[in-house]
Amino acid sequence: MGMDVYDAFPSARDVFHSVDDALSQKLSHLIFHGDEGELKKTSNAQPALMAVSMALATVLRDEFGVDVGKIATFFAGHSLGEYSALCAAGVISIPEAAKVLRIRGRAMAEACPSGGSMAAIVGLTSEDVENILPECCGDGQIVQLANDNSPLQVVVSGHREAVEKVMEKSLKSNAKMAKMLEVSGPFHSILMEEAVAPVAEALEEMNFRNPVRPVIANVTARAEIGNFRELLLKQLTERVRWRESMAFAAAHSISACVEIGAGRVLSGLAKKISSDWDVTTVNSLETLEKFAKTCC
């Protein structure tokens, strides 16, 4: 991921090299040529995904003259993507984001040594799933709604036994799918509480600036222009309110969404949230060039 823009443009190489320098690690080599299992480790995956997003955004600006800070009304990012959104909005720098995401990834992976899981539930509303959750807790077992992604897609997070009970009861309640996710911990739940202190310490080292455009925060689902340190900490243990975030955008006359980064998951979610939106995915050199032409 990102190798095509790395090979094509010096501005993309500058982004990846700045992340390498910030981490004192050739993360770019791991992204392009390394072991997939090593790259999927949370402490590597988080800064890697941010690097790809920002390389694409930087190439758009420096090579094609498309400054997302000038054409966007709002920025938003899902979970770790919120750090990319803050970079794009000028709140934090790319090296700062890389450093804190390395710490965040490691802290999240280590926060629940007793084990935990996450599962996607498709075909039920967030309210449907929330009504199921109390039946699945008890005997020290915890499970929470972690991601409210779209009208009929949510993710639950907690102790594995409780998560399995939610999956079972969801299917009995006519969910279309209940699938365990390949993650290293029960993210966006109270079981991430031990990750808060190390991430808080890392965030204290960061210089937060005013955004060029408001950022719709995961935990408030509304446009924010400050208080990002506290919002990022809350994000560790609270749900990602993505459906509500996109509803906020729609309510403020947003008619087009552009997803910049590896993959196209958020583009798919956007279409489910509002069928009227013009949704564009920029995740490669080809899609970047195509989008840049529409902006000329």
* Residues facing residue 150 across a β-bridge: 153
DSSP readout, 156-173?
EEE-HHHHHHHHHHHHHT
Distance between CA atoms of 77 and 240, rounded to whole angstroms? Answer: 10
CA-derived radius of gyration, the chain: 19
Closest CA to 195 of 116, 118, 104: 104
Residue 67 has φ and ψ, to the nearest 5°, of -90, 110
Distances (CA, A) of 201 to 79, 109, 175: 19, 17, 41
CA of residue 148 relative to chain centroid, distance:
13
The residues assigned a catalytic role are 79, 188
